[in-house]
Homo-oligomer: A and B are copies of this chain.
Amino acid sequence: MFESAELGHTVDKESWKREVPPLREALLDAQYDLLQKAEFPVIILVSGVDGAGKGETVNVLNEWMDPRHIETHAVSDPTDEERERPAMWRYWRLLPPKGKIGIFFRSWYSTPISLALHKDAGNSELDQQLARINRFEKMLTDEGALILKFWLHLSKESQRRRLKTLEKDPATRWRVTERDWKNFKIYDRFRRTAEHALRRTDTTEAPWIIVEGADARYRYLAVGQAILQAVRSRLDSPRTCSASITVPPVTAGMDSLSVLNRLDLSLKLAKKEYEKELEKYQGTLNLLTRHKNFGRMSAVVVFEGFDAAGKGGAIRRITGALDARYYRVIPTAAPTEEERAQPYLWRFWRHIPRRGHLAIFDRSWYGRVLVERVEGLCSPADWTRAYGEINDFEEQMMRNRTLVLKFWLQIGKDEQLRRFREREQVSFKRFKITPEDWRNREKWDDYERAVCDMIDRTSTEQAPWTLVESDDKQFARIKVLKAICEKLEATL
């Protein structure tokens, strides 16, 4: 993998003087086109061997382009706010919006590689992490991002020479630390591990660009030209269709059996029993969230359901049992401008709770495979890939000890009609019913099909969907509360 980067590439002064001015101009030009179109973000990773000039390269890129529209991130130790979230949270919050360039100096590759190197984590663990990175990058490119991954390489001998040279000059001596020499000693192991990591993550969507780092002029020109080429070609030939159009999943529909219509919507709970159970489960839930172990985890509760299925009411029965300081209800409305400039899941990542906290989502990331699918707000390629992305997202939360609980509140078509009419008549409920609700109702069957697909594809062992028979609100609320209590009890 590094063969071509150990040949001793150099660029002479003459060529440098000739090449740089037009390159800079073209880069600036491309940067402004990118900014004006604001159709996709550019994500540049600068990784590589110590002493291969990563920092200098990043500085040169900032010098050549307009630094006002570049965000450079040197990710080091996570802050305490970051440590309480899934590992990728810190990168999500730094993703550049459409039209901008984000440069990551040290990136999501640093931790896996250094863990594999120093902690002697098995290769299988490294491979798992790399597979996750592949899925992450695939998601980003599917969302339109242009990802450029640079690996600045040095042969062992070059690295030794480079460190020595830096050390000799008083102006650069500070840049060589003890750590660098320590790393030098394990050069061979590092090279092997890095090569393995690069091979596993060298994908069509986001291939590695390996650049020999020994000669500064060569390094800068190589990186600069690669960026120019990639950005320019993407600007000039926008992707007309997603590379991988998958056949949309088809739900059986051959007979009338489905996970939804097998639900017994006649299930009811009498008022007296409801009140007894409500008190019981709210009390239990309250105690559970005050359990000392709850401070070491967090929870995400998702509510989906047809209009008027009783999501709001169920949520209030949960929050009624909780201390307001430790939960947050997130009503999922249309994305804001800042959210629209980011990958689809970005607006949910920003609400992942800290330890000891709950986030309750009134509608959620499942909008992608429900309303957006049915209303044609995104392409079939977008919503078909969303299942996998969502599973990854939830898996990352669970790996971070964030429980994921998902409820589908199912009501019958008649019951919905009754509730719509009721809402129209009761003054303080009138805001709850809009023409859109009536429109959605007309597509009931399409929605049911989408719901069945969603359940099939995203009900995982760790984060299964709980289907809630909701024609009777009291029954539904207790079923939800009970499910949350049981899951918490099993986890704490």
- Chain A residues proximal to chain B, CB less than 8 Å: 25, 28-29, 32, 36, 55, 58-59, 61-63, 66-74, 79-81, 103, 105, 174, 290, 312, 315-316, 319-320, 322-331, 336-338, 362, 428, 431
- Sort A-B residue pairs by CB-CB distance and give the 10 closest, nearest first: A74-B325, A72-B324, A68-B331, A337-B337, A68-B329, A62-B324, A58-B324, A67-B319, A67-B329, A336-B337
Residues of B within 8 A of A322 (CB): 59
Interchain CA distance A69-B332 in the complex, whole Å: 11
The contact of A63 among B59, B174, B316, by CB within 8 Å, is B316
A428 and B28 contact, CB distance less than 8 A: yes
The interface residues of chain B lying within 8 Å CB-to-CB of A105 are 324-325
Contacts of A63 on B, CB cut-off 8 Å?
316, 319-320
Closest to A330 in B: B68
CA distance A326 to B71 in the complex (A): 10
User: A323 to B290, Cβ gap below 8 A?
Assistant: no
Which residues of the partner chain B approach A66 to less than 8 Å between Cβ atoms? 312, 316
Q: Which residues of B are found within 8 Å of A25, using beta-carbon distances?
A: 428
- SS of A interface (majority): helix
Is there contact, CB below 8 Å, between A331 and B69?
yes
Residues of chain B lying within 8 A (CB to CB) of residue A79: 79-81
Set of chain B residues within 8 Å of A62, measured between Cβ atoms: 319, 324
A71 / chain B contacts, CB cutoff of 8 Å? 328
- Distance (Å) between the CB of A409 and the closest chain B CB? 15
CB-nearest residue of chain B to A54: B325
Residue of B nearest to A62 (CB): B324
Contact across chains for B431 and A59 when beta carbons are under 8 A apart: no
Provide the residues of chain B in CB contact with A61, threshold 8 Å: 324
Alpha-carbon distance A32/B331, docked complex (angstroms): 14
Q: Are B337 and A67 in contact (CB under 8 A)?
A: no
Across-interface contacts of A337 in B (CB, < 8 A) = 336-338
Shortest CB distance A422–B (Å): 16
> Can you give 22 A-B contacts (C-beta < 8 A)?
A32-B431, A55-B323, A59-B322, A59-B324, A61-B324, A62-B324, A63-B316, A63-B319, A66-B312, A67-B316, A67-B327, A67-B329, A68-B329, A68-B331, A72-B328, A79-B80, A80-B80, A105-B324, A105-B325, A336-B336, A336-B338, A337-B337
**Chain B min CB distance to A347 (Å):** 11
The residue of chain B having its C-beta at the shortest distance from the C-beta of A57 within the complex is B324
Task: Name the CB-closest residue of B to A322.
Answer: B59
The residue on B at minimum CB distance from A432 is B32
| Residue in contact with A174 in the complex, picked from B80, B290, B329, CB distance below 8 Å | B290
Q: Give A68 to B313 CA distance when docked, in angstroms.
A: 11
Residue in chain B with minimal CB distance to A326: B74
Bound-complex Cα distance A312 to B337 (A): 26
CA distance A79 to B79 in the complex (A): 8
CA distance A316 to B322 in the complex (A): 52
Q: Looking at the assembled complex, report how far the CB atom of A211 sits from the nearest CB atom of chain B, in whole angstroms.
A: 17
Alpha-carbon separation in the docked complex, A73 to B58 (Å): 39
Question: When the two chains form their complex, are residues B431 and A324 in contact, meaning their CB atoms are under 8 A apart?
Answer: no
- Contact residues in B for A326 (Cβ distance below 8 Å): 74
Tell me whether A315 and B103 are in contact in the complex, defined as CB-CB below 8 angstroms, given that A325-B74, A428-B29 are known contacts.
Answer: no
Complex: how many Å from CA A315 to CA B69? 12
In the assembled complex, the Cα of A70 lies from the Cα of B330 at a distance in Å of 9
A265 to chain B, nearest CB (A): 26
In whole angstroms, how far apart are the Cα atoms of A25 and B426 in the complex? 12
Residues in B neighbouring A103, C-beta threshold 8 A: 324
